[in-house]
Structure 1
Amino acid sequence: MTDELVFYTHPMSRGRIVRWMLEEVGAPYRTEILDFGGSAKSPDYLAINPMGKVPTVTHGGSVVTECPAILAYLADAFPDAGLAPPPGDRARGPYYRWLFFGAGPVEAAVVNSVLKVQVPDDPRMRGMVGYGSLETVLDTLEDAVSRTEYLAGDRFSAADLYIGAHLGWGMQFGTIPKRPAFEAYAGKLYGRPAAVRAREIDDGLLAAQNAGAPSS
């Protein structure tokens, strides 16, 4: 058994969020780049993540999938990085709240909007989807990022990273509107040195992949 930290990803995936987290953590890690329709579906990788998707992190005997779970795991596994409020700290409540708000209401509402999934205008049906409406989710998020510099206490945490990544990605591709509060919040976070390093790494990997692609 080894304590090596291994990161399975693709440079154009949600793995970019985890890359940012890994750069914030600062611990050495090894990257395995997978192809969506090829190596990600190989027997070797399916033995690690039966979903055949990225990102995945392995660390010692632990296999962690799903972005918010990976972020929470890394924050706790490497506490010296200060990416989560310590147990017992009051900020732990909002930390979990916003980390999983991103994983639940934000992602579900945005994806359903992109796919043009229409939730019936019936209070019972809206209650079933959990987020109510995209507008409610975005208004709630706008209020949160407008009130304070960081979502959990007085310092940057994995919750900020996850929400900031959602906002940055969504505004870039037009799935989340460019509200001034969103631009200010995400812009501040995207300027962090670890965020810049992570983008440079993944953009470089993506460019290398594209350069090696056969011409059509």
Structure 2
Amino acid sequence: MSLTLYTNPMSRGRIARWMIEETGADYETVAVDWRAKSADFLAVNPMGKVPAIVHDGVVVTECAAICAYLAGAFPEARLAPPVDRRGAYYRALFFAAGPLEQAVTSRAMGWEAADPQKQGMLGFGNYDRTIDTLEGLVSAAGGGWLAADHFTAADLYVGAHLSWGLQFGSIPKRDAFAAFVERVTSREAAVRAAAKDDALIAEQAQPA
């Protein structure tokens, strides 16, 4: 088995590293330079975006897809519910990958539609409704998890978005969000992944 993570520690690649750390798999890290993407990396992802993984020759890009793929590839880690109970799991994963990310990005760019008819053309409708829906999902979990009686990739992916959004102010501070972030980011794999990425940032900051 071979597993390679293409990443930059100041990117969504932090999500993919956290997910790999949760699986317990051995992997190689290839740091991608924003300024000069290599031909080897562009052969993996012509978009030139990180993260990307290559698992035994299989290329997977897009964070939510990487999380879902790794949960399936390493079932012993129990990062997905049983197949017949994955409705809430897929809903949370792809709500965060679609409406939530679109809503947050659109607001940051100043792209908001006040007209309800135009909102209907958008995948997220409007920012406030998206955030309220997210709060409903997280609040329904109480002190537990979004999609099962144990931590899954859905908790990781939603938690990563919340952690980032609360840190940079793109998601409003709400008690349910803060409690959920604390719960997921205190996991051993999350702490371990963050330490590796922070070390990579420090390494890249060193003069050549």
The TM-score with structure 2 as length reference comes to 0.96
> 1:146, 1:211 → 2: CA distance?
43
Give the alignment of 1:45-194 within 5 angstroms: 45-88=41-84, 90=85, 92-119=86-113, 121-148=114-141, 149-194=144-189
Secondary structure (helix, strand or coil) at the match of 1:84 reads coil
Query: Percent identity, aligned pairs only?
Result: 56
Secondary structure (helix, strand or coil) at the match of 1:212 reads coil
Contact 1:68/1:162 (8 A) holds in 2 = yes
Corresponding position of 2:26: 28
> 2:184, 2:206 → 1: CA distance?
30
Per-residue CA deviation, residues 159-184 of structure 1 (Å, 9 max, x unaligned), is 01000000000111111111111000
Contact 1:167/1:186 (8 A) holds in 2 = yes
Residue ranges of structure 2 left out of the alignment (5+ in a row)? none
Secondary structure (helix, strand or coil) at the match of 2:41 reads helix
Partner amino acid, structure 1, of 2:25 = A
Secondary structure (helix, strand or coil) at the match of 2:120 reads helix
Per-residue CA deviation, residues 57-90 of structure 1 (Å, 9 max, x unaligned), is 00112100000000000000000000001212x2
Partner amino acid, structure 1, of 2:205 = N
> 1:18, 1:212 → 2: CA distance?
27
> 2:205, 2:39 → 1: CA distance?
26
Deviation at 1:210, TM superposition (A): 1.5
Secondary structure (helix, strand or coil) at the match of 2:180 reads helix
Per-residue CA deviation, residues 68-118 of structure 1 (Å, 9 max, x unaligned), is 000000000000000001212x2x000000000000011000001111112
Deviation at 1:153, TM superposition (A): 1.7
| Structure 1 stretches of at least 4 aligned residues deviating more than 3 Å after TM superposition | none
> 2:83, 2:136 → 1: CA distance?
26
Aligned residue pairs, count: 206
Residue ranges of structure 1 left out of the alignment (5+ in a row)? none
